[in-house]
Structure 1
Amino acid sequence: METAYFRNIRKELIEVLKTTDNRLRIAVAWFTNSDLFDLLLEKLSNGIQIELVIIDDYINNGDFGLNFQEFIEKGGKLYYGKEENPMHHKFCVIDDRILFTGSYNWTYYAENKNFENVVKFEENQKIIDIYSMEFDLLIESLELVSEANNISFEEFESRNIFSIKNYLGLDLVYHGKEVSKIEYLEKAKTIIPENKVFLKEYKSFKSLPIVEQPEIRKTTTINTPPIAVLGPKLKLTKNSIGIKVEINGNKNRFACIIPKGTKIPCELSRNFIATDDGTQLLIETFKGENEQVYNNIWLGKFLIYDLLQRPKRQAGIKVSICIKENCYMIVKAKNIDTGNEIEAIYHDSTLIEEKPADNTQ
């Protein structure tokens, strides 16, 4: 059986990697994602055999690279692709029974910026065996690494195999935004100081009052002083705002919380029932008018992870969305059972449009 994924690739990878009970063979050009890396370290601690091939460059081995020395010390086998024949694969063989292959590097950049794809093969043993054989042939031509490289920023230019400045700089930006740490963006500033995408993201991040991580806490009330609307124009939501939900078995439906044309500032909420019986739930926010959620524009995601273990369709979640006049949006998910709440803050300059007051109902 083959399944193609174009969104939420990291989530699917993590779920399948968790099932590993024997051996992982991974070949990815660039690997910076700490969630995937931490899972590999956990698997090594549980006795899983892991072989990893990556490019030996600044993205993987620079100042903000993952701790591949720890990977080696925990028993992982690390190989560097040769500079004269750069290793540009992106595939993973899991226990010789599942294959992931496609365009997706294990990076924040791939997850947040690019259009990427992977295909998961589960029962096509012929294809899985071909990739396993190719991996074994690949590592036979490489040397096993006993000490991971640590490339300084000064060495960066001389080892710039793929003209990687923009990739690395924006990968640091998306990493920093995901974990709410400004030092990643400051480092990106030294690499791509004139990049227009970076400058926009940096300006947005610097002005955003982000906490270190979304935290479970008792419900709090955000008191926002009212902002007067100056002149004859009203500020309205340019699109409907809502979240991804499951309706009648369709897991990709759009549930509107704030309709298009709602006067700003505003805060509206809806109650939902969890369709799974787990203890966490992913809240994904979109803007648009289509009932099929992926035909709309994705704005962000976060986990509410303190749900009580209850049967399907019995765990209640209240989702509230607050939009302010400065184009900041606060999405809150409240656990109705416990009263605990998690929130995420997003900024999108296209959330709001202005219309003359006498032409707006």
Structure 2
Amino acid sequence: MWTVKVIGFSVLAASVSVELLNWLRRRYKARKTLNEVIFFPSELGCVEHLLRPSLPYPCYCALPHGVETSLSRLLRHILSASSSLDLCVFSFSNMDLCRAVLALHQKGVIIRVLSDKQYIAISGSQIGPLRQAGICVRSDVGSVYMHHKFALVDGSILITGSLNWTLTAVQGNMENLIVTMEPELVRPYIQEFNRLWEINDPLKHPNSVQAF
């Protein structure tokens, strides 16, 4: 009897071990496929199929269609947000990226934006449209530039690099982005964003430029 029980337990343990190993392999593989590098300037290409996927008619703009570009890869990662999107960007004037953020907001994704106080109101800035849509935006109150350029998707995907969220950076500059789900890299950025979000609370700085 004991022999049967021991054999049964051994078979069960082996089965569980195999399932655990398979789960770890799948998880590792999934994480590896989400480690990505994107270089700019981006190739030209239409992104309407990403920003308006339910469009009932094809887009007839002059840009190439059906091509994968650096911008479209970035947009796919941003639009994959299902619960939250935290943006910490020095300058934000790219209209396609703004449309992606607004589309997420309309879906109920919780969005927080932190930007530099001097660049938040420059000509072409998309911060105004974000605020008008009801998205919470804060600007830094420090004496140095808030020069970060990173995004956190659902608190699990980090997008960071040299790219400012501007038309010039996307189409005219040599820039780079890294997209990763590595927890040891994502975690410090979450902590930094939350730290900056807290210290730049406009209620603590009623005379700041944030209330435009």
Q: 2:81 aligns with which of 20, 28, 33?
A: 20
2:111 paired with 1:78: no
Map 1:221-300 to 2 at 5 A.
none
* Cross-structure match for 2:97: 36
Task: Give TM-score scaled by structure 2 length.
Answer: 0.63
More strand by share: 1
What stretches of structure 2 of length at least 5 have no aligned partner? 1-31, 43-69
8 Å Cα contact 2:120/2:139 also seen in 1 = no
1:98 is displaced (CA, Å) by: 0.9
- CA offsets, 1:202-230, max 9 Å, x none? xxxxxxxxxxxxxxxxxxxxxxxxxxxxx
Larger CA Rg, structure 1 vs 2: 1
2:188 paired with 1:130: yes
Q: Secondary structure at the match of 2:120?
A: helix
8 Å Cα contact 2:88/2:149 also seen in 1 = yes
Alpha-carbon distance in 1 for matches of 2:102, 2:201: 21
- CA offsets, 1:257-314, max 9 Å, x none? xxxxxxxxxxxxxxxxxxxxxxxxxxxxxxxxxxxxxxxxxxxxxxxxxxxxxxxxxx
* Cross-structure match for 1:105: 164
Q: Which has the higher contact order (CA 8 A, sep 6+)?
A: 2
1:127 is displaced (CA, Å) by: 1.2
Map 1:284-323 to 2 at 5 A.
none
8 Å Cα contact 2:139/2:210 also seen in 1 = no
What stretches of structure 1 of length at least 5 have no aligned partner? 151-361
Task: Give TM-score scaled by structure 1 length.
Answer: 0.38
1:130 is displaced (CA, Å) by: 1.4
Alpha-carbon distance in 1 for matches of 2:210, 2:196: 19
1:128 is displaced (CA, Å) by: 0.9
* Cross-structure match for 1:3: 36
8 Å Cα contact 1:77/1:144 also seen in 2 = no
Alpha-carbon distance in 1 for matches of 2:172, 2:75: 19
8 Å Cα contact 2:138/2:210 also seen in 1 = no
- Please tell me the root mean square deviation across aligned C-alpha atoms, in Å: 2.2
1:5 is displaced (CA, Å) by: 1.4
Alpha-carbon distance in 2 for matches of 1:4, 1:21: 22
Alpha-carbon distance in 2 for matches of 1:11, 1:135: 25
- CA offsets, 1:1-57, max 9 Å, x none? 322111334322111111111000111101100001011111111111011111122
2:121 paired with 1:61: yes
More helix by share: 2
8 Å Cα contact 1:104/1:110 also seen in 2 = yes
Alpha-carbon distance in 1 for matches of 2:120, 2:151: 17
Q: 1:95 aligns with which of 154, 162, 179?
A: 154
